[in-house]
Amino acid sequence: MSSFSQFISKNILGIGGLILLFISVMIIWGNLIDYNIFKNGFEVNAKVVEAPENCLNISSRGGFCKLQYNNKMYVVKAGKKFCHLVSQKNEVKMLTDENLSQLLFPGEFNDFEFASGFILFTLATFIIFKNFSKS
């Protein structure tokens, strides 16, 4: 067995922990952006370009809509929760930041999303620490 394979087999848990750490940091970063829009953003009226016709047929992963604001197109996941706001409508109230980087439905951000990234971060740190402390 090569030395690289031995390294991988001995440290697979630590490598998995590093991957989980990277994913958790990306989740935290995205949630911080959403939190900033939720707390400091302002309300705008976006034009509904394309939306689901019937909210009853949307799967848990579906329900995307195209919105236009300030001559920019945004693809936003409405899902079952927010489909009624865009289905068969011409405009919808959304939240955005000063950079107009993205649009959020009012009430889309919840505290568990914010906490989930930190829970994953803690788990990843524990896995990494546990793996490298046994070596």
Q: Which helix (H) or strand (E) is 77 found in, with range?
A: strand 72-77
User: Domain range for residue 44?
Assistant: 13-128
Q: Please indicate, yes or no, if residue 17 is contained in any of the structural domains.
A: yes
Q: Please indicate, yes or no, if residue 95 is contained in any of the structural domains.
A: yes
Q: Please indicate, yes or no, if residue 6 is contained in any of the structural domains.
A: no
Tell me if 48 sits within 8 A of 86, measured CB to CB: yes
Convert the pLDDT of each residue in 107-128 to its tens digit: 888 878 778 889 999 999 998 8
How many residues appear in the chain?
135
Q: Please indicate, yes or no, if residue 133 is contained in any of the structural domains.
A: no
Count of domains observed in the chain: 1
Q: Please indicate, yes or no, if residue 134 is contained in any of the structural domains.
A: no
Q: Please indicate, yes or no, if residue 86 is contained in any of the structural domains.
A: yes
Convert the pLDDT of each residue in 22-53 to its tens digit: 999 999 998 888 888 888 889 999 999 998 88
